Amino acid sequence: MKTLVIALGGNALLQRGDVLSADNQYKSIAKIAAAIDTLAEHYRIVIVHGNGPQVGLLALQNLAYEEVPSYPLDILGAESQGMIGYMLSQQLSQNVNGLPVSTILTRVLVDKNDPAFCSPSKYIGPVYSPERQQELERQYGWQMKLDGSYLRRVVPSPAPKSIQDREAIELLLEKRHIVICCGGGGVPMVESDRGYRGVEAVIDKDSVASLLACELDAEYLMILTDADAVYQDWGTPQARALRQVTPDELRPFAAPDGAMGPKAEAAISFVEKTGKKAFIGALKDALDIVREEKGTCIRLA
């Protein structure tokens, strides 16, 4: 049976602007489970999810209790893996015809000299009005950037080098489990004199999903997002969906500061390294995307 790695954005678990409540996340997760239900009949499924809104909420809750020193971001990332993995597995277990669902707390190795540590770019947490930038930076010591018309906290996002818990993922796939792993990009680890240690960062989940798909020798990588495809001339009357593209044709969309950039870069990397197909599209169209009836398919010429 072919293996399909699915990357879900943190905003797929919580719609932008919604209250960061468990009920709201379960509503979104119910839609995710319905989309994955049919896919699980035909593929071995691996789910990688984002955690930007959730880990940001944990950081805020962390700061609110001043009697205990704040926990570092790697521990909060691990917490978010457990929280989201639990919620996903609870809902999926009711929708996938008795298939077992397992969540793996996943560690991912990064380079301690990655330049990303000097240039935070990964959005986490809730959105704020731009007028609050100086207040938030002064109060918490955060770095803030505009995310569209909103303001959000940014943290370092180093590139993933290897997935340390891949063997456990492979063993579960062999037993026909649906595997939830590399949540929030995985817990970022660096080499040290005493083995590996966690670092203050959040790895991009699309980049990790691409790496994992390569390491698992998966047939397909599917990146699910708000948009139903990659669009040429997005936001203009001339906008048109791109259905079949090569990595070279997609490369102009891989700008690091764009919402589509990390997704395009991850898809390009997987296709060029493996010669296999990647897809970008909307959650609701998941089955049609892998059939190449909707979304954008990235393949070698």
Q: Which residues are catalytic?
A: 10-11, 122, 205, 263
Q: How far is 299 from 268, CA to CA, in rounded Å?
A: 9
Instruction: Report which of 187, 298, 200, 196 is spatially closest to residue 242, judged by C-alpha positions.
Output: 298
Instruction: Report which of 293, 290, 272 is spatially closest to residue 220, judged by C-alpha positions.
Output: 290
- Order of strands, sheet of 107-110, starting from the edge strand that comes earlier in the sequence: 160-163, 107-110, 187-192, 195-198
